[in-house]
Chains A and B, each alone.
Chain A
Amino acid sequence: MKKNYWKMVFRTVKGSFSRFLAIFLITALGVGFLVGLLCTSPDIRSSVDGYYDEHNLFDLDIKGTMGLTAEDQQAMEERPEVEAVTGIYQKDVLADNPDGQSQVARLHAGDYAGEAENMVNTPTLEEGRFPEKAGECVLLKTPTFSGSFTIGDRIQLQPETDDEELYVETSLEIVGIATSPLYTALENVTSSVGNGIVSLFLLVDREELDTDLYTDLYVTLRDAKEQFAFGKEYETLVNADKDSLNDFGKERAAIRDQNIRQEAEDKLADAEQEYQEKKADTEAELLDARKELDDAKAELLDGKKEIEDGEKEISDGKKELKEAKEKLDSSKKQLDSAKKKLDASAPEIKKIKNTLKNKDSIENARKQVAAYDEGTESIEAARTQLSQQQAQLEQSKAELEQQKQAYQAAEAAGAAPEELAAYAQAIAEGEARLEAFSQQLSAATQELDRNQAELSASAASVEQAREKIAEWDKNYNTMVSAVNSYESAKKKYEKGKKQYESGLSSYKKGMEKIAESEEKLEEAKQTYADGLKEYEDGEAEYVDGRKEADEAYAEAEEKIEDARKEINELEASEWYILKRNTNPSYVSIDGNSDKVAALAKVFPIFFFLVAALVALTTMTRMVEEERVQIGTMKALGYSKGAILLKYLLYAGTAGILGSVAGILIGQVLFPTVLWNAYSMMYSFPMVKTPFLPMYALPAAIAAVLSVIVATISACGSILKECPSRLMLPKAPKAGKRIWLEYIKPVWSRMRFTHKVTARNMFRYKKRLCMTLVGIAGCTALLVTGFGIRDSISDIVEIQYEQLQKYGLSVGFSDDATEQEKQEVTSYLDTLEASYTALHMEQGKAIIGDQQEDVYLDVPEDAAAFTSFMTFRDRKTQETVPFDDNSVLLTEKLASTLDVHPGDTVTIENGDEKRFSVEVTGIVENYVRAFVYIGRNAYREAVGEDADFTTLAVLCDVPASEEDQVIIALHQFSCVGSANFMTASIQSFENMLSKIDFIVIVLIICAAILAFVVLYNLTNINISERQREIATIKVLGFYAGEVDAYIFRETFLLSLLGAVCGLFVGTALHRFVVVTVEVSNIMFGRSIYPLSYLFSLVLTLLFTILVCLALSRRLKKISMVESLKSVD
């Protein structure tokens, strides 16, 4: 082409830049929107896949019902399909909250210090270091984490609520802060302790928990990383490996079972032995006690006998004493009478005695007599003796003479002098003695003679005395006998008296003795009583001890029995192999990106349609404006093609540039913006937005093509005309009557200016069409955006306020007893709650090959349950009857399975038992899929009654106190789970806030759409009608009136388009909702009137904004224009 041709094209662009910009913008919008939405899903998925690979997110998570051992881990590592295995002990515990309440902390115990970088689910340290010993922890920053801990803070763990006693340290120091690929989603992680929601995630060293077991083995699979985590190949690979590991798990579980059984049996044996030993000890103790008691008893018996003996003795003694007393008394009497007698005879005896006192004189007389007699006799004897002595003297004289002769003879014989001297001396001595003797004899003869004389002098008195003695001797015997008998009587009396006194004193002594022994007996009795009491106490104690011991035995035996039973009932342990679909972020990323992808199917259609229309109208106007130029060129000899090319180049360039801009902006902006909306839910790094030609190129080509087609059709008619006619100014489009004018009642009542508007509106059908489509699209986008929000808030409002009225569900553990349940219900009574029992299990609903996961709810009392749950039809709002024989399916489930009332559906319950039931009704429901079965229907189908282990509780607890209620409920050992619906409501409300963002994006897009369309069209309109506007200005229309004159059309068209948009939006909303909703949730189908109103108002607001922007342009139109000639 010629240089000037290009100059012309370039100048056209420059001269009509706003027009060029309109095509550029609308193409950019359409392409950007489409490419953006198309790329978002793959971008997010591949970014997340990259993140997972980088952080070794597990492919499989193995949990064992009995825990897993290091051997299990080792065995896993040796499996060919396994790349790496990390064992973790996971435990949910209660920790002190800074504000004094408790919060749930999840501990992950593992060897972080040693192998953090090589671990499956590699944690990324942001600060500090990994824990190296007990008492240290690393805090995980998760999207749900809201606390403000820093390194060095301490977390105080509360005592373990279960009996595991695993803690080593109860105060954990934060030594680091990290992120983990396990917790990347803003979704509450539920727990069975505390308020049921984990709020702290802590990594601790294995030493922190005193166990050798693992709760989880996180496994990465060989070759899995190379696969796209959200792709089919990955799914296939993981499923295959899971199957093979399942079999392996069975082997390992069997080994584990054996070990556990062995361990339990050993323990049981130990316990039994211990029990036996203890029992023996106790028995021996008891036996000793018995013996002691028996001894005490025997002693007591002896004591008793002694007491009895003592008592007898005392009574005997008393009797004896009594007898003695009696005797004493009689002897006293006797004594008294004897005394009387004695006293009576006493004076006579005294006389006698006086008489007898003369005895001495008698005696003297007697002695005188005797002495006289004796003297007489002794004189006689002395005379005899004296004569004998005379004879003796003569003899001694003769001997002395003999001796004198012997001396003379010896002297004469000359005997030795000395002998002679001895002789002489003996003779001298003899002579002396003879001499003394002769004197003695002469003295004795003299005395004898004198005594004779004396005697003879007393002879007379002696005679007198002899007489007196004779008389005495005659009376004496009588007197003596009288005195004697008195004396003897007296003596006898004295003796008797003495005897009596001694008897009395001995009696008294006896009495004293008895009193003494009585006292002693009392004492003994007391002692006995004490002893008895002691004994009885001892006995009672013994009985108690016995009883206690027996009870203890029984208990211990029961325990042992239980333990044995438990061993017998030991369920085979099992491996649960979980895939990534248990990881909330994996699931929700997948779901959320699907939703975005689904949106990409619908929304861009509008923009393409509008882009084509914008191109069409713009180019049409442009061609019309350049009519003369085209004619001139034609006349100059340019071919049709060359002329067309100019416009194709113009529009095409705008389209291509727009597409490029759209791709550049859209592929980055949309994934980033949507990702930012999601990023508050996830802790993934920034999304990567690579250029994805497979999405970008088709979108760009489609956009450019539609612009080109529009341009060709705009040029078509003009190019056919001959140059001469083109050279003439185009006759203004003739005014025409419109159909409205023929409806007289309407037309005649319309204000004049409105008539003008009406005519103008119908004058350019293409523009009318484009405005309608553009504005309808804008409104439809808004309706859809608000509607999606409504649909989700419907879930909360209808599901949790109208349908499911109960706000709390309490699940009992399987072994809960009636009494335990009663405790729980009486607690619930204190909350003034009402409740009803349910059987709840997860199962499947099956029709043919199609099966859906469902919850089976079997209420104990169907009638009562209807006040906890509203069963109604969504469309008619009529109550669907429910009784013990009913089977109700929730709406979405029914429509997925294409089931209608009267159809039969196969249900598989939690025990994988299948049964068929006839559906009696379909009910409105938004969250999850339920099959409500009456208990009779259930019993008939299954063959046994359901066990009602869940309570649906209707209570009025303020949200702030729910935690306390949950904690209180978990205090009951029989409560397995307790959940308020608030958590679900919360997660839907979270969802709402994400949707809010999408709504904002939609509003912005709708606004851009409205602006581009309205601005472009009104702009064309104004430039086309410049002269008319100038004229009415000259005619004296005020600025406002001029605006109204032009914009009334725009406004009316907008209104019309908006109303259409409401309908289109309703349909679009329905489409989006059905596409976007995930399997277990049904979004609300209806849009609130307020949303329609908002959409309408927003659309009109956009229109007003466009009008305001263009009003300046209207003002700028000079009245002088009216004076100029027609083109």
Chain B
Amino acid sequence: MCAFITFKDVCKYYQNGETKIAAADHVCFEAEKGELVVIVGPSGAGKTTVLNILGGMDDCDEGEIWIDGSNIAGLKARQLTTYRRKDVGFVFQFYNLVQNLTAKENVELASEICDHPLPADQVLAQVGLKDRMQNFPAQLSGGEQQRVSIARALAKNPKLLLCDEPTGALDYVTGKQILKLLYDTCKETGKTVFIITHNQAICPMADRVIRIKNGRVQDMQTNLHPVSADEIEW
């Protein structure tokens, strides 16, 4: 119970005709504050379900989810929204920037709605986009867009940062840069960062690796000596 984040026997079922499929089957894991956690598993293993539940986008059918001392399992939709709003920063595979807004505005879109946002300019500078703040997403490269996406997540000053395949749509070099940014962010700001990926190569840089297969946690290891993102190869 002392862990910052605790998943305890979390189950999620999907009804498919007659059969009930467990997307998450008694998932248990924990993570400490300031850790970079990588959840890894093949497609369809249930990692997105875990992400959804952890990100407050979906609720679980059974189990407890303790985040910083409060259980989000069984929260109402509105309470979940509040949780997302205040405690979670989300980085999407496809950046999901609003095309009609400039980089800065996209960041502001998130910071507008939370209590203690970080200044958009500062966060954008932090992710290295000081000069591109006034650009529309269409005018930015993929990496830049993902940086805006990360900035948007960070600006909310969340308790945890959830990144869904952050490098999935990026080329190798840019992907590594983004991973580095995430790593640095984790270390510099002390935020808990979850990276959900199918890419095993990312595991070495994590403080904790959770392997998921068939809706179950196959194993969870803490990595006492994580390597820098620069050193990862795939």
Q: Interface of A with B (CB < 8 Å)?
A: 731-736, 752-753, 755-756, 759-760, 763, 1027-1028, 1030-1039, 1041, 1119-1120, 1122-1123, 1125-1126
A1036 contacts B85, CB within 8 Å? yes
Instruction: Contact check, A1122 vs B92: say whether CB atoms are below 8 A apart.
Output: yes
Complexed CA–CA distance, A1036 and B113 (Å): 8
Question: Are A1037's CB and B113's CB within 8 A?
Answer: yes
Q: CB-CB < 8 A to B96: which residues of A? A: 1027-1028, 1030-1031, 1034, 1122
**Is A755 touching B81 in the complex (CB atoms < 8 A)?**
no
B75 at the A interface (CB under 8 A): no
Q: Report A711 CB to chain B, min CB distance, Å.
A: 27
A1000 to B48, CA, bound (A): 54
A-B residue pairs, 7 tightest by C-beta: A1036-B85, A735-B136, A734-B138, A1036-B84, A1031-B96, A1119-B57, A735-B100
Q: Is the beta-carbon distance between A1126 and B94 smaller than 8 angstroms?
A: yes
Contact (Cβ within 8 A) A1125 B94? yes
Docked complex Cα distance between A755 and B108 (Å) = 11
Q: Flag if A1120 contacts B52 (CB, 8 Å).
A: yes
Task: Flag if A1036 contacts B94 (CB, 8 Å).
Answer: no
Question: A735 CA to B137 CA in the complex, in Å?
Answer: 8
B102, B113, B137, B139 — most chain A CB neighbours (10 Å): B113
Apart from A1030-B96, A1036-B85, 20 more pairs, CB < 8 Å:
A756-B100, A756-B105, A759-B100, A763-B100, A1031-B92, A1031-B98, A1032-B109, A1034-B55, A1035-B90, A1035-B156, A1036-B82, A1036-B83, A1036-B86, A1036-B88, A1036-B113, A1038-B81, A1039-B77, A1120-B57, A1120-B58, A1122-B92
Residues of B within 8 A of A (CB): 48, 52, 55, 57-58, 77-78, 81-86, 88, 90, 92-94, 96, 98-102, 105, 108-110, 112-114, 136-139, 152, 156, 164, 169
Contact B81 A1036 (CB under 8 A): yes
**Is there an interface contact between B136 and A1037, defined as CB atoms closer than 8 Å?**
no
Q: Would you call B164 and A1028 a contact (CB within 8 A)?
A: no
Taking the nearest CB of chain B, how far is it from the CB of A1061, in angstroms? Answer: 27
Could you say which of B48, B88, B112, B138 contacts A735, with CB atoms under 8 Å apart?
A: B138
Task: Pick from B85, B137, B169 the residue with the most CB of A within 10 Å.
Answer: B85
Q: Which A residues are CB-close (under 8 A) to B110?
A: 1035-1036
Specify which chain A residues have a CB less than 8 angstroms from the CB of B98 in the assembled complex: 735, 756, 1028, 1031-1032
Most interface-central of B88, B93, B94 (chain A CB within 10 A): B94
A756 touches B85 (CB 8 A): no
Residues of chain B lying within 8 A (CB to CB) of residue A756: 98, 100-101, 105, 109
Shortest C-beta distance, B97 to chain A (Å), equals 8
Closest to B77 in A: A1039
Q: Chain A residue with minimal CB distance to B92?
A: A1122
Given A733, A752, A1028, A1034, which contacts B90 in the complex, CB threshold below 8 Å? A1034
Which residues of A are found within 8 Å of B99, using beta-carbon distances?
732-735, 1028
Complex CA gap A1031/B137 in Å reads 15
Sampled A-B contacts (29; CB under 8 Å): A732-B99, A735-B99, A735-B136, A735-B137, A752-B108, A753-B112, A756-B105, A759-B100, A760-B100, A1028-B98, A1028-B99, A1030-B96, A1031-B92, A1031-B98, A1034-B92, A1036-B81, A1036-B85, A1036-B86, A1036-B114, A1037-B85, A1038-B78, A1038-B81, A1039-B77, A1041-B113, A1119-B58, A1120-B57, A1123-B92, A1123-B93, A1126-B94
Residues of B within 8 A of A1119 (CB): 52, 57-58
A284 and B152 CA atoms in complex are apart in Å by 134
Q: A731-B138, A734-B136, A1031-B92 are in contact. Are A752 and B105 (CB under 8 A)?
A: yes
- What residues of chain A lie closer than 8 Å to B105, measured between beta carbons? 752, 755-756
Bound Cα distance from A731 to B99, whole angstroms:
10
B24 CB → nearest A CB, Å: 14
Residues of chain A contacted by B82 (CB below 8 angstroms): 1036, 1038
CB-CB < 8 A to B92: which residues of A? 1031, 1034, 1122-1123
Q: When chains A and B are docked, how far (Å) is the Cα of A1035 from the Cα of B90?
A: 7
CB contacts (< 8 Å) of A752 on chain B: these are 105, 108-109, 112
Q: State the Cβ distance, B50 to closest chain A Cβ, in Å.
A: 13
| B81 and A735 contacting across the interface, CB-CB below 8 Å | no
Q: How far is the CB of B64 from chain A (nearest CB, A)?
A: 22
Complex Cα–Cα for A763 and B138 (A): 14
Q: Which residues of A contact B164 (CB under 8 A)?
A: 1123
A752 CA to B55 CA, complexed, in Å: 25
Contact B101 A1037 (CB under 8 A): no
Q: What A residues does B112 contact at CB under 8 A?
A: 752-753
Query: What distance in Å separates the Cβ of A756 from its nearest Cβ neighbour in chain B?
Result: 6
CA distance A710 to B189 in the complex (A): 56
**Residue on B nearest A1034 in the bound complex, by CB:** B90
- Return chain B residues, CB-CB under 8 Å to A732: 99, 138
In the complex, chain A residues whose CB is within 8 Å of the CB of B55: 1034
User: How many angstroms from the CA of A1035 to the CA of B107 in the assembled complex?
Assistant: 11
CA distance A1036 to B99 in the complex (A): 19
CB-based contact A1034/B101 at 8 Å: no
Distance of A760 Cα from B105 Cα, bound (Å): 13
Contacts of A1126 in B (CB 8 A): 94
Residue numbers in B under 8 Å from A1125 (CB-CB)? 93-94, 169
Nearest A residue (CB) for B87: A1036
B201 CB, nearest partner CB in chain A, Å: 21
Taking CB as reference atom, which chain A residue is nearest B112?
A752
Interchain CA distance A384-B109 in the complex, whole Å: 232
Complex-state Cα separation, A1126 to B48, whole angstroms: 17
Complex-state Cα separation, A736 to B135, whole angstroms: 10
State which of B93, B101, B109 has its C-beta within 8 Å of the C-beta of A1035: B109
**How far is it, in angstroms, between the C-alpha of A8 and the C-alpha of B96 when the chains are bound?**
32
| B137 near A1037: Cβ-Cβ < 8 Å | no
Residues of A within 8 A of B88 (CB): 1036
Which of A731, A1034, A1041, A1123 touches B84 (beta carbons < 8 Å)? A1034
A922–B83 Cα distance when bound, in Å, is 74
Chain B residue nearest to A1126 in the complex (CB): B94
Closest Cβ–Cβ distance, residue A985 to chain B (whole Å): 58
A199 to B214, CA, bound (A): 89
Q: Closest Cβ of chain A: how far from B34's Cβ, in Å?
A: 22
Cβ contacts under 8 Å, A1027 to chain B: 96
With A1036-B85, A1039-B81: A759-B101 Cβ-Cβ less than 8 Å = yes
The distance in angstroms between the C-alpha atoms of A1126 and B108, with both chains bound, is 23
Write the chain B residue with the least CB distance to A1036.
B85
- Residues on B with C-beta less than 8 A from A763 are 100
Once the chains bind, are B57 and A1034 in contact (CB under 8 Å)?
yes
Taken together as a complex, chains A and B put the C-alpha atoms of A1123 and B164 apart, in Å, by 8
Q: Identify which of A736, A1120, A1123, A1126 gathers the most chain B CB atoms within 10 Å of its CB.
A: A1123
User: Chain B residues near A731 (CB, 8 Å)?
Assistant: 138
Distance between Cα atoms of A1037 and B84 in the complex (Å) = 9
Cα–Cα distance between A1070 and B210 once the two chains are bound (Å): 74
Question: Which of B85, B100, B136, B137 has the largest number of chain A CB atoms within 10 A?
Answer: B100
Determine the distance from Cα of A756 to Cα of B156 in the docked complex, in whole angstroms: 19
Closest Cβ of chain A: how far from B39's Cβ, in Å? Answer: 14
| Distance, CA A735 to CA B90, complexed state (A) | 22
Q: In the assembly, what is the distance between CA of A1035 and CA of B139, in Å?
A: 23
Give min CB distance, B178 to chain A, whole Å. Answer: 17
